[in-house]
Chain A
Amino acid sequence: MREISVELITDTIAQMCIEANCCLNEDVHTALERAKQKESSPIGKEILCQLTENADIALQKNMPICQDTGMAIVFLEIGQEVHITGGLLEDAVNEGVRKGYEKGYLRKSVVEDPFLRVNTKDNTPAILYTKIVAGDNIDITVAPKGFGSENMSRVYMLKPSDGIEGAKKAILETVEQAGANPCPPMVVGVGCGGSFEYSAYLAKKALLRPIGSHSDKKHIREMEQELLQKMNDTGIGPQGLGGNTTVLGVNIESYATHIAGMPIAINISCHVTRHCHKVI
C-alpha cells in the first residue's frame, strides 16, 4: 500500500487547472500552425493567425487562452495499491478546483442548479470520473470544457442497420449544424457503442487523445480520416466565415454494445481543447 495524502491531490489539481487553461497543448498549436499554411480563405487565415497569437499572449502572461475556462472535468485512474489519507477524495478534487480557479484568476462559470442558476462562485463542483486500475499511482487528467462547444454536442441512438454509414452521417450532420457556434476550427470527439451514457463518456475521452493520433482499429481509423476530410470540405471554416479549416481533428473511441443498439455520441470541442495530465 502506498499512501497519498489528499493535500497532494488538491495541490496537484489546483496547479493543473491553471496550466490547462493558460498553456495551449502542443498538438493543438501544431495543428493551428499547419492549418495556417493550408487555409485558402484570407479571413480564415487571419483568424488562425489571431488564434496562435492569442495562445502566445496567454502563455506569456499566464492568463487563460479563453475567458470560458470551463467546467473542470477530472479523470482519475487510481492504482488499487493506493491508500488515500487525510480526507475524502471527492472533497480533495473540489478543493483543488476551488484553489486553482481562484489562484489562476480563472472564470467561475458553474451554477448550482440548472433551473435556479445561482453561481457557486468557485467553479465547483467538478465533474469527476474515477477508475480503479493496477499499480500504486494516481493518474490525473484535468480537462476544462467550455460550453459554447459543449452545447453543440449530441447523442444518437441509431439502429444496427444504420451501420457505419449511418454513424458517419450523424457525426457529419452534428458538425454542420454546429456551424459557427463552437468557435471553429473544432476538435470532434466521438464515442461509438456502449450504452446511452457510456457513449457520451467515450466521446469525452476521445477529446483527450492528441490531435493527429488515430485509432488502432482499421475501420475506425478510416472513419476518422474520411470524416476529417468531409468536415473540412463543408466550407464552414474558421469562425464559420468560410474556409477549409473547419476541424483540426476527429478522434473516435469505440466499445462493445448491445445486439439491439448502436449509440453514437458526438462531443464538440473547439480550438481551445484543453487537458493537462500528471501522475502522482
Chain B
Amino acid sequence: MNVSVPFTAEQAKKLKAGDVVNISGVIYTARDAAHKRMLEEYDKTGKFPFDIYNQIVYYAGPAPAKPNEVIGSVGPTTSYRMDVYSPVLLRFGLRGMIGKGIRNNEVIQAMKQYTGVYFGATGGAGALLAKHIESVEVIAYEDLGAEAIRKLVVKDFPVIVIIDSEGNNLYETEPIKYRK
C-alpha cells in the first residue's frame, strides 16, 4: 500500500494495524530535544517551526552524511520518550508518527480522538532506510546536531502500521499468537 504525505484524516482512517505501507513525500525528523523545543516555541509564539497539519513526524536522528551521500544511517529511535509530547501535536492535526516500540495510553487515546496513525520502521536498519531518502534539509534547531528538525523527501519508505486510528495495536495482538 502506498501513502503520500501530506495525508488527510479520511485517508488515515483507511490504514489498519498490520498494513505494510510505503510512504512517499515529505516527513520531518524530531526526537526528544526537538519536541521539547517545538512545544516551548508554540507556547511563546503560537507557531510550530513547520506546519504539522496532516504531516508525519519521524523519530530519528541520522548519522552524518558522507560526501556524495544524501544522508547517513537513519533508523527510528524508541518512541515512548516522545509520549509526553505527542498528544498535543495530534490535537493540532499531526497525522502520523514513525518510530519503534510501545506508546502509552494517552497517545493512543489522542490518536483515536484526532485520527492519528503510528507506524513502525525497522529499528537498527538505518543503512537500508537511508536508501529511501532523496533529500534532506535542516529546517530548525540546527544547534541540536543529530537532533535538529530535518525535512526529508522520501520515496517508498517502508513502514508497518502498528497502531491505527481505532487503537488496534500490533504489539498487543501479535506476540500472543506466538507465545508458547
Using a CB–CB distance below 8 Å, which chain A residues touch chain B? 40-41, 43, 47, 50-51, 53-55, 57-58, 61, 63-69, 105-109, 117, 119, 121, 148, 151, 179-183, 233-237, 239-244, 270-272
Q: Is the CB of B130 within 8 A of A63?
A: yes
Q: Is the CB of A233 within 8 A of B180?
A: yes
Nearest chain A residue, comparing its CB with the CB of B130:
A63
Taking A50-B125, A181-B101 as contacts, is the C-beta distance between A67 and B73 under 8 angstroms? Answer: yes
B33, CB-defined interface residue at 8 Å:
yes
Q: Is the CB of B178 within 8 A of A237?
A: yes
Return 7 A-B CB contacts under 8 Å, by A number. A57-B128, A109-B61, A119-B144, A237-B178, A239-B122, A240-B101, A270-B124
Q: Could you tell me the distance between the alpha carbons of A179 and B120 in the complex, rounded to whole angstroms?
A: 14
Q: Is the CB of A64 within 8 A of B146?
A: no
Which of A51, A63, A121 is B72 in contact with, Cβ under 8 Å? A63
Q: How far is the CB of A138 from chain B (nearest CB, A)?
A: 29
B66, CB-defined interface residue at 8 Å:
yes
What chain A residues lie within 8 Å of B128 (beta carbons)? 50, 53-54, 57
Binary per-residue interface labels of chain B (68-105) against chain A in the complex, 1 for a CB within 8 Å, 0 otherwise: 01001111011010000000000000000000111000
Q: Could you tell me the distance between the alpha carbons of A219 and B72 in the complex, rounded to whole angstroms?
A: 44
Taking A179-B101, A241-B170 as contacts, is the C-beta distance between A107 and B160 under 8 angstroms? Answer: no
Nearest chain B residue, comparing its CB with the CB of A236:
B175
What chain A residues lie within 8 Å of B152 (beta carbons)? none
What chain A residues lie within 8 Å of B123 (beta carbons)? 66, 148, 183, 239, 270
Q: Could you tell me the distance between the alpha carbons of A141 and B89 in the complex, rounded to whole angstroms?
A: 43
Binary per-residue interface labels of chain B (4-26) against chain A in the complex, 1 for a CB within 8 Å, 0 otherwise: 00000000000000101000000
What chain A residues lie within 8 Å of B44 (beta carbons)? none
What chain A residues lie within 8 Å of B160 (beta carbons)? 43, 241
Q: Is the CB of B102 within 8 A of A148?
A: no
Q: Could you tell me the distance between the alpha carbons of A63 and B133 in the complex, rounded to whole angstroms?
A: 15
Q: Is the CB of A240 within 8 A of B171?
A: yes
B117, CB-defined interface residue at 8 Å:
no
Taking A105-B64, A180-B101 as contacts, is the C-beta distance between A235 and B73 under 8 angstroms? Answer: no
Taking A240-B175, A241-B174 as contacts, is the C-beta distance between A64 and B126 under 8 angstroms? Answer: yes
Using a CB–CB distance below 8 Å, which chain B residues touch chain A? 18, 20, 33, 60-66, 69, 72-75, 77-78, 80, 100-102, 120, 122-128, 130-131, 144-147, 158, 160, 162, 170-171, 174-180
Which of B66, B101, B131, B180 is A105 in contact with, Cβ under 8 Å? B66
What chain B residues lie within 8 Å of A105 (beta carbons)? 63-66, 72
Interface centre among B33, B63, B146, B160, by most chain A C-beta atoms within 10 angstroms, is B63
Q: Could you tell me the distance between the alpha carbons of A107 and B144 in the complex, rounded to whole angstroms?
A: 12
Q: Is the CB of A179 within 8 A of B127?
A: no
Q: Could you tell me the distance between the alpha carbons of A68 and B126 in the complex, rounded to whole angstroms?
A: 9
Nearest chain A residue, comparing its CB with the CB of B170:
A241
What chain A residues lie within 8 Å of B62 (beta carbons)? 67, 107
Q: Is the CB of A50 within 8 A of B179?
A: no
Q: How far is the CB of A55 from chain B (nearest CB, A)?
A: 8
Q: Is the CB of B61 within 8 A of A107?
A: yes
Which of B73, B120, B146 is A241 in contact with, Cβ under 8 Å? B120
Q: How far is the CB of A135 from chain B (nearest CB, A)?
A: 37
Q: Is the CB of B122 within 8 A of A234?
A: no
Q: Is the CB of A235 within 8 A of B63?
A: no
Q: Could you tell me the distance between the alpha carbons of A43 and B123 in the complex, rounded to whole angstroms?
A: 14
Taking A107-B62, A119-B145 as contacts, is the C-beta distance between A67 and B180 under 8 angstroms? Answer: no
Known: A119-B147, A235-B179. 20 other contacts (CB 8 A): A54-B126, A55-B127, A61-B127, A68-B75, A68-B77, A107-B146, A180-B100, A180-B102, A180-B120, A181-B78, A182-B78, A183-B123, A233-B179, A233-B180, A235-B176, A235-B177, A241-B171, A241-B174, A241-B175, A271-B124
Taking A236-B175, A240-B171 as contacts, is the C-beta distance between A183 and B100 under 8 angstroms? Answer: yes
What chain A residues lie within 8 Å of B63 (beta carbons)? 63-64, 67, 69, 105-107
